[in-house]
Chains A and B, each alone.
Chain A
Amino acid sequence: KAGVTQTPRYLIKTRGQQVTLSCSPISGHRSVSWYQQTPGQGLQFLFEYFSETQRNKGNFPGRFSGRQFSNSRSEMNVSTLELGDSALYLCASSANTGFQETQYFGPGTRLLVL
């Protein structure tokens, strides 16, 4: 099976712009979670989508949003970019939602905001 894929792998934006990141989960997986990784804040959970519905949400402002399509692919959008949004954004998929599920991570999208 192909692993989790994320596009693009690298992205440079300027403050105030918006960005959309894409995640394709492992075939058959219905849950997609997004994480932000920065040197200062470490790894933080953004949100989880399962069967096109947001199931869980971390503590991020409303500028961060996401959605999931019927084929389980997910997109994450960040509007009005700030310098502090520069980070590695990781996507993870699992077969189902729930604590017991093993998550498989993609390689990440590295976003640089200038």
Chain B
Amino acid sequence: AQSVAQPEDQVNVAEGNPLTVKCTYSVSGNPYLFWYVQYPNRGLQFLLKYITGDNLVKGSYGFEAEFNKSQTSFHLKKPSALVSDSALYFCAVRSYSGGYQKVTFGTGTKLQVIP
């Protein structure tokens, strides 16, 4: 069965400090991994994705993520957090199962950047 885990419900970080939001996954075959951000009362916004190639993926708003196959992880990172980064972050994995595309989201991590 396919699954995504975001072990932290909330991450607090001081403005200007580096941030990491963790994501681990379990999937048969090659994973296609995504990060999305959701601001209050808004839909999801795409941040970045890993399909194949370089393990370090760069995305929108200065975010990046590192794909680690041995640890089955896809942690989201940013070198210097901004207060405006405070939001809900979702990791997702997509794969084929039984001829259909299967999409699984993590439970979300609330990022709070403290001024």
Contacts and interface: CB of A to CB of B under 8 A. Distances in A.
Interface of A: 4, 33, 42-45, 48, 55-58, 90, 92, 97, 99-100, 102-108
Interface of B: 32, 36, 41-46, 49, 51, 90, 92, 94-95, 100-108
Contact of B43 (A42, A57, A107): A107
Q: Interface centre among A33, A43, A105, by most B CB within 10 Å?
A: A43
Given A42-B105, A48-B101, A99-B95, 6 more contacts: A43-B92, A56-B101, A105-B44, A107-B42, A107-B43, A108-B43
A55 B101 contact: yes
A43 B105 contact: yes
Interface class of chain A by DSSP: strand
5 residue pairs, one from A and one from B, having the closest CB atoms: A105-B43, A43-B105, A45-B103, A99-B32, A56-B101
Given A99-B32, A100-B51, A105 B45 contact: yes
A99 to B, nearest CB: 4
A45 B102 CA distance: 8
Interface class of chain B by DSSP: strand
Contacts, number: 52
B103 A58 contact: yes
Contact of A106 (B43, B104, B105, B108): B43
Contact of A100 (B32, B41, B104, B107): B32
Nearest to B41: A107
A16 to B, nearest CB: 28
